[in-house]
Homo-oligomer: A and B are copies of this chain.
Amino acid sequence: MSSAALSNGYAAPEMAVLCRYAALYGEVQQSRLHRSLPLPSVLGTSFHVVDGPPSSAAGDPDEIAKLFPNLFGQPSAKLVPSASSACATKDQKALKIGVVLSGGQAPGGHNVISGIFDYLQERASGSALYGFRGGPAGIMKCKYVELSSEFIHPYRNQGGFDMLRSGRDKIETPEQFKQAEETVKKLDLDGLVVIGGDDSNTNACLLAENFRAKNMKTRVIGCPKTIDGDLKCKEVPISFGFDTACKIYAELIGNVMVDCRSSGKYYHFVRLMGRAASHITLECALQTHPNITIVGEEVAAKKLTLKNVTDYITDIICKRSEIGYNYGVILIPEGLIDFVPEVQHLISELNEILAHDVVDEAGMWKKKLQSQSKELFEFLPQEIQKQLLLERDPHGNVQVAKIETERMLIEMVETELEKRRKEGSYGGKFIGRSHFFGYEGRCGLPTDFDANYCYALGHAAGALLHSGKTGLICSVGNLSASVDEWTVGGTALTSLMVVERRHGKFKPVIKKALVELEGAPFKKFASMRDGWALKNRYVNPGPIQFVGPTAKAVNHTLMLELGVEN
């Protein structure tokens, strides 16, 4: 690899282009723009791709095998340095590649694209890289831009997905598959890189299967993206964006903690992104040491009710009040409600009732609820009751996602505290303050870790397509070592899959990586939370630093899972 590419490959004419952007770039953005990206050493040598043993599935292997007859069982792939430089020549085959950003934004997406681009420039000169605009819809509508060095450069090391924009469309129906086929044929694509979360990578695998079944030359490689951190497995230790997002949220939580300790009069209820999994909440807890942290997976495993969760919070608030603390910080995952089994029952009963019956003001309709659901409904704050009954989605379903869990919990805790006050078991003061940290963290400037990881993922995607692989997800490993020691390869997407029965049909899905209650991050948290509850052990991590010792810091979740931290 030439030194030009290692230093991000700015040539003089490109600098002129950058100057146009510089006027709108803050100094920090600019300094990030010019940061060189290190690469795993294997990518700086001649390498070849070595296959591992055949793979299976995360569950239901027979069903997955039937759904992916052409791809099931593919081995993982790993880049290893070649003894001779013979392969280097073979490398120089020009490729036509498409890339798409799919789903919610995550810091680092631009560097994946930069990584693919630089790989092609360096290893497959004469190649073309097309960026599909607006997510998967761009593939179906054949809306794309041919990416040039000029086009890409202003986005290097920058947050957001604004280079191409993203979208949440899926390529699902036969008609949509046909549109995708037409696009890749029209552009004569050798490969397609799908940068997305679990759903998007499932989609990538279905496309790969479809193209192969039809003997088309287009191969498909996935890339693990999601700030939620729920797309991972042994060979794909982390999804990109999680590191940056958690650090941004932890900065804010840390600030709120200091504020809270300074004024001594508020309980801050902080809801954090993560609908299906509580990794963000857990990581932020490990970074900041809040008084109370609710982990959805634990709520589900222990089959807790909302009353249980409310009591857990209220108990700690009462104990804290006795030792003079009428303030605190509480972290709640966005998806908490989805983890409470009784809420699921209530919602499905409500959907059924609302679809067929009239909701009478006198409340006679409630008699149709099962007793547990009725009890839960009565326990909910009035505002939430109203919301459940009145605000429904276009399919007439109750909109659980619209419930602001942090505000709901404040109300429920308030009610419980008032009860205890009347009983004489609580004599403190309680003022709740609600926060939702979401959009603030999805598009921050990527940390060094995310920037480097994504750049390596992009190279991995390029190398896998270059060697003719399909249906793999990029895997970059050995992440606790320095970047040059990182391993680069790919893992069969089918090996991450299970089947779900939906509408009477088997549907393949990538198994969500939830917080494991026996995993190192949760166990560490669980061993410390009682101390954090009553003693104030707040840590204020401060803003992400791009220079200095903390620039190299990596999130606790990854380091604990890798066994490097304990």
State the A residues within 8 Å of B (CB).
24-29, 31-32, 104-105, 134, 158-162, 165-166, 248, 251-252, 254-256, 258-264, 268, 287, 289, 433, 435, 439-445, 537-550, 553
Chain B residues with Cβ under 8 A from A289's Cβ?
A: 24
Taking a contact as CB atoms under 8 Å apart, the answer to whether A262 and B166 are in contact is yes
Closest B-chain residue to A28, C-beta based?
Answer: B542
User: Can you show 14 pairs from A to B with CB atoms below 8 A apart?
Assistant: A24-B289, A32-B542, A105-B262, A158-B540, A159-B258, A160-B258, A160-B261, A162-B261, A162-B262, A166-B262, A256-B439, A256-B443, A268-B439, A444-B543
Kindly provide the distance from the CB of A88 to the nearest chain B CB, expressed in whole angstroms.
Answer: 37
Partner of A263, one of B105, B158, B445: B105
Taking a contact as CB atoms under 8 Å apart, the answer to whether A441 and B255 are in contact is yes
Taking a contact as CB atoms under 8 Å apart, the answer to whether B440 and A252 are in contact is yes
Taking a contact as CB atoms under 8 Å apart, the answer to whether A545 and B547 are in contact is yes
A439 and B538 alpha carbons, distance in the complex (Å)? 16
Kindly provide the distance from the CB of A24 to the nearest chain B CB, expressed in whole angstroms.
Answer: 6
Partner of A105, one of B29, B31, B259, B537: B259
Partner of A254, one of B26, B134, B165: B26
A225 and B524 alpha carbons, distance in the complex (Å)? 40
Partner of A27, one of B433, B435, B549: B549
Taking a contact as CB atoms under 8 Å apart, the answer to whether B28 and A545 are in contact is yes
Partner of A540, one of B29, B260, B539, B546: B29
Kindly provide the distance from the CB of A185 to the nearest chain B CB, expressed in whole angstroms.
Answer: 28
A166 and B262 alpha carbons, distance in the complex (Å)? 7
A353 and B399 alpha carbons, distance in the complex (Å)? 38
Partner of A259, one of B251, B435, B442, B541: B442
Kindly provide the distance from the CB of A31 to the nearest chain B CB, expressed in whole angstroms.
Answer: 7
Taking a contact as CB atoms under 8 Å apart, the answer to whether B435 and A540 are in contact is no
A549 and B550 alpha carbons, distance in the complex (Å)? 17
Q: Which residue among A134, A161, A262, A540 has the maximum number of chain B CB atoms within 10 Å of its CB?
A: A262
A442 and B29 alpha carbons, distance in the complex (Å)? 24
Kindly provide the distance from the CB of A158 to the nearest chain B CB, expressed in whole angstroms.
Answer: 8
Taking a contact as CB atoms under 8 Å apart, the answer to whether B24 and A543 are in contact is no
Q: A24-B537, A32-B542, A262-B161 are in contact. Are A248 and B255 (CB under 8 A)?
A: yes
Chain B residues with Cβ under 8 A from A540's Cβ?
A: 26, 29, 158-159, 445
Chain B residues with Cβ under 8 A from A24's Cβ?
A: 289, 537-539
Taking a contact as CB atoms under 8 Å apart, the answer to whether B31 and A548 are in contact is yes
Taking a contact as CB atoms under 8 Å apart, the answer to whether B159 and A444 are in contact is no
